[in-house]
Amino acid sequence: MEGLYDFLVSLDGILGGADWFPFVLLGVGLFFTIYLKFPQIRFFKHAWLVVTGKYDKSTDEGDTTHFRALTTALSGTVGTGNISGVAFAIFLGGPAALFWMWATAFLGMTTKFVEVTLSHKYRVKTQDGTMAGGPMYYMDRRLNMKWLAIAFAVATVISSFGTGNLPQSNGIAQSIEATFGFEPVVVGSVLGILLALVILGGIQRIAAFTSKVVPIMAVIYLIGALAVIFANIENIGPSFAAVISDAFTGSAAAGGFLGASLAYAFNRGVNRGLFSNEAGQGSAPIAHAAAKTDEPASEGMVSLLEPFIDTILICTVTGLVILSSGVWKEKHENVFDRSDMYFVEGHYDDSNEADRTALYQYLNDLEGNKIVPYNGAITVVNGTAVSDGFTLINARSIAEDVKYSLGVEDAYTGTLQIKDGKPVKDNLEVSGKSLVHSAALTTIAFTRGYFGNYGQYIVSIGLMLFAFSTAIAWSYYGDRAMTYLLGPRSVMPYRVIYVAGFVWASFSDTTLVWALSAVAIVVMTIPNLFGIVMLSKEMKQTVNDYWSKVKDE
């Protein structure tokens, strides 16, 4: 697994983690925002009117209403990105990362408007009478680039696992184990059965399920979040100030957080913003293609509400919970993921300014870094290291009170061989205090409010509902892609593998799952961004035609 993780990290470094990707993603959003004269502002009110059904016509073709199409697409985006993803972004980039998530969402409102409009325009009716759409159809039917359509559809299938399946299942299992103590494999198996029961019903059952679950889960989560925010109301102003000020300087060291450069916070904030709202990824157009309307632009306007609800509202609430409670810079007792843990040569103390500077350069991969991985042996007695000459870094922080064991109570005694910063012994369990990230960080933050420790149950329930509905929506995206690639007969085998993957991910390494999702997102996004830029003139004409019809009515 370590080899696979290293490969995925290297691939992510070339793709989503590369310097060029955030600029391409934001650049396309900025281009369309200016080219279409800020549609996310001008069409915002009209979008709500469309959702309420004011412009519905009984004669329009489609499988579901505007509202249900919106909630289905929202269920695909409102998931672990809102709970785990925000926490992961702040863990990596500090408060500055939240600002860049906002920027991604604002520009992403336009990007989503464009991709949904164009995809809806070229949707088709399948042999079973249902509607099928998505970027692969405009790539094929309008651009005459079947090779690009196939590449996108394949990437959609991969991303259905990397975005909608594996990280969702992993996030649910991690949170429920931490809160209720249930084994991840049990959680994954039970929810896997429920997942199979829902997705077998197709878009009608999926839309009916999500239209009920999405509003409920949003209310439950909001109540829990506000309980933390009001309990720490004195920290809200400073938290907002840190988000804005750090956006252009990077986040300074604070507590156990060793700091993040501007470039690193920008990259991670944009990356996590995309994971949260999926604007530009091309996933939402597949859900919106089922909406009952003959006006592609009207459905595009409905979709621009998604990044606003998903990121600007829900992710901001999560970010304020984490920042105002202060948990993001505190070290917490936890069992270290092997992929998060590495040994470096020398002794470092995060209370020493010179050491903090050295670690900052190391973690942000800056010039002047002199820290190197540790190679050698470590002597351990009754679970405690008695030799020196190394520092254990876990979750981008110096680990404290470290214990080595071969099980829950079996303290390790012996010699540990460390090669390239990693322990050679596979069955070794290492625990102690360090920064934490993802769902675990949000769960801790929710205990710092009026509900106390009961707040963690809100995160567990919210995460389960958010993530489960996301997995359901993405199964639909994947089966539409499979329908395009191999026809309707390929859908059932895909669903079986999808459910199996959901169960497997519940007990797999958290860091590995996030690494896979980071790669899958970019592999799907790049062809879609290329396609919508190619059709920019047609997009403007489609919008103008729509407004001409609306004014005539």
The DSSP secondary structure of 213-278, one letter per residue, reads HHHHHHHHHHHHHHHHHHHTGGGHHHHHHHHHHHTTT-BPPBTTB--B-HHHHHHHHHHHHHHHH-
Pairing of strands 341-345, 124-125: unpaired
Residues in the chain with pLDDT values less than 50: none
Distance CA 222, CA 228 (A): 10
Q: For residue range 186-244, what is the model confidence (pLDDT) as tens digits?
A: 988 998 998 888 887 767 777 777 777 778 878 888 899 999 999 999 999 999 999 99
Distance CA 160, CA 147 (A): 20
pLDDT of residue 173: 84
Cα end-to-end span (Å), the chain: 60
Tokens 């009754």 found at: 382
Could you tell me if 282 and 528 are in contact, meaning their C-beta atoms sit under 8 angstroms apart? yes
CATH of domain 2-36+47-330+474-552: 1.20.1740
DSSP helix/strand/coil, 172: helix
Q: In what order do the strands lie in the sheet with 332-335?
A: 332-335, 429-434, 400-405
Could you tell me if 173 and 437 are in contact, meaning their C-beta atoms sit under 8 angstroms apart? no
Distance CA 293, CA 188 (A): 37
φ, ψ dihedrals at 15, nearest 5°: -100, -100
Distance CA 440, CA 462 (A): 13
pLDDT of residue 164: 80
Tokens 């649910």 found at: 172
Alpha-carbon dihedral 67, 71, 74, 76, rounded to 10 degrees: -130
Q: For residue range 487-497, what is the model confidence (pLDDT) as tens digits?
A: 888 989 999 99
Could you tell me if 96 and 250 are in contact, meaning their C-beta atoms sit under 8 angstroms apart? yes
CA distances from 58 to 54, 61, 103, 291 (A): 12, 8, 38, 12
pLDDT of residue 16: 66
Distance CA 426, CA 419 (A): 12
Residue intervals of the chain classified under CATH 1.20.1740 are: 2-36+47-330+474-552
The DSSP secondary structure of 105-164, one letter per residue, reads HHHHHHHHHHHHHHHHHT-EE-TTS-EE-SHHHHHHHTS--HHHHHHHHHHHHHHHHHTT
Could you tell me if 318 and 442 are in contact, meaning their C-beta atoms sit under 8 angstroms apart? yes
Residue 223 burial (CB count, 10 A): 12
Helix (H) / strand (E) containing 65: none
Q: What is the DSSP letter of 418?
A: E
